[in-house]
Amino acid sequence: MKNNDKRPNKNSAFKPKLKTNERGNLKTNRFEKAKSKPNPHFEKKTQDEKLRREKNKQENKKESINKPTSKTRTQRTEQPKREFNKERNSEDKFEKRGNKTVFKKTDKKFERPARVPAKNTISEKSKEKSSYSSKANETWRLNRYISNSGVCSRREADNLIAKGEISVNGKVMKELGFKVRPTDEVKYKGKVLRKEKPVYVLLNKPKDFITTTNDPQGRKTVMDLVKKATTERIYPVGRLDRNTTGLLLFTNDGEMAKKLSHPSYEVQKIYRVQLDKPFDEEGLEKLKEGLELEDGISKVDNAAILSPDGFSVGVELHIGKNRIVRRMFAHLGYEVIRLDRTVYAGLTKETLGRGQYRLLNEREIIRLRFFNKRGQ
């Protein structure tokens, strides 16, 4: 027999359906239970609001007590004005001193403070005097003073001194190592020599010009290109061959010229070389490793092929030997057709056409003046 009893099992999750009227009774019972039970959060909120109200009342009472009355306000407004707001009569402003009418002196409070001398004025003056005295006591070799005045080079100045053509303070001076001061009067052929202002000229040298100050054969020299650059006597620093083009520096600053031309400073020079046949990677390695020439081993600092056909090569070196670039490529079996110096001691020929020159700017002069040895 089948068991048709449909009573739900206690352990089963089945819940019997309720009728509509029974559902409503359950809801009302829930709300009534919630009202009967106290809500702690709600009660706490009401208590906090009560405390706030009491605090606000106490603060309002304190403010009302501390507020000034109408009498105190009237007393403040009725106080007399300060004395400096009063209008002064003309008699109060002026007074007679002898035959003149002058403004009266104000109170001591408003008097302008007496001027106090600046600090260390005496020390600054003494410093200036010491600097002037040091300049006055500065000594120069006589041949250097003559060369800086623009007459000739130091070697030629030694010859002039030995011949007795130079006088110092009215006396003929034949001593080569003699030292003069800026206050001394040095004369050559009756003319007083003065120290020249240093000048620096950069030239983009063209072909067929010799790097020399004078040519006995009457050929064109680089001095013909820069003769209008300055009135001071300038001379080229270093040399470029007749057929070599590019940067050439001129100056009357003997110390800087000696510095840039001395091999120990290893001044950077970059050349663009045009060859008669294509150059290869093997030749680049040989240039960097070093070539043994008749005057010793010579190598470049860097080298690169500039054109896709290999005819143009860039070379960077610091060697100051005569015709060194041409001799190195000739040793490898190449003939140099064109040779152009594009960089010299950090100077470039931007905006400088062939045969043109320009004066160096202040930044370039400072860079050359504080030029250090390579690698320092």
CA angle 154, 157, 161 (to 5 degrees): 140
Rounded to an integer, what distance in angstroms lies between the CA atom of residue 139 and that of residue 230? 27
Q: Where are the alpha helices (DSSP H) in the chain?
A: 20-36, 40-66, 70-77, 90-93, 121-137, 142-148, 154-163, 254-261, 281-289, 324-331, 362-369
Rounded to an integer, what distance in angstroms lies between the CA atom of residue 101 and that of residue 97? 6
Q: Tell me which DSSP letter residue 207 carries.
A: S
| Cross-strand pairs, 302 | 316
Residue 319: which of 263, 370, 363, 373 has the closest Cα?
A: 263
Which two tokens mark 51?
């405390």
Which two tokens mark 184?
């001394």
Residue type at 57 in one-letter notation: K
Long-range contacts of 129-136 (CB under 8 A, 24+ apart): 135/182, 136/181, 136/182, 136/183
Residues classed as catalytic? 241
